[in-house]
Amino acid sequence: MIPIKDLRIGDLVKTTTRNPILEKGSICKVVLIDALINSIIVQKNDVDVCRCLVKEEIEGIRLTPDILEKNGWEQEYYAPIIYGHIGHDIEISFLQTSKRCSVLLNDISLCEIQYVHELQHILWALGEDANLKI
């Protein structure tokens, strides 16, 4: 479950329940956030649209090396748990003792993250392309 205050339009999330339009586990993009009624509108494949209750029907997508590689990140030659991207100075270091990743900018640790939407927020804040593929 993701608190509504932690979401932004454009975030990628995964559905946790089945409904008439989306299967459980569908990857969707947030297109509208309605804090008043604590719900969001998500879109799948630029076609299907469905209203989901934030706390009950969506969750974060765990950030993995496969997702990073699909988006142009490459494994560093000197450290197999660190991924970098040619387009910017951000590195992602997978922590061996937890499910979290450390985000580094110019070798300075910024924070720890766990989900794709958290990486999207960091990229947006730095003015980078955050349109990730899953």
Confidence at residue 10, expressed as pLDDT on a 0 to 100 scale:
93
In the predicted model, residues of the chain with pLDDT beneath 50 are none
Rounded Cα gap, residues 48 and 73, in angstroms = 29
Confidence at residue 54, expressed as pLDDT on a 0 to 100 scale:
66
Confidence at residue 71, expressed as pLDDT on a 0 to 100 scale:
93
Distant-in-sequence, close-in-space partners of 128: CB < 8 Å, separation ≥ 6: 87, 88, 90
Confidence at residue 4, expressed as pLDDT on a 0 to 100 scale:
84
Confidence at residue 23, expressed as pLDDT on a 0 to 100 scale:
81
Q: Which of 43, 47, 56, 46 is nearest to 2 (CA)?
A: 56
- Which structure tokens are listed for 4? 């509504």
Strand, coil or helix: what is 3? coil
Rounded Cα gap, residues 42 and 58, in angstroms = 10
Strand, coil or helix: what is 30? strand
Longest dimension (CA), the chain: 49
Rounded Cα gap, residues 36 and 7, in angstroms = 14
Contact 83, 95 (CB under 8 A): no
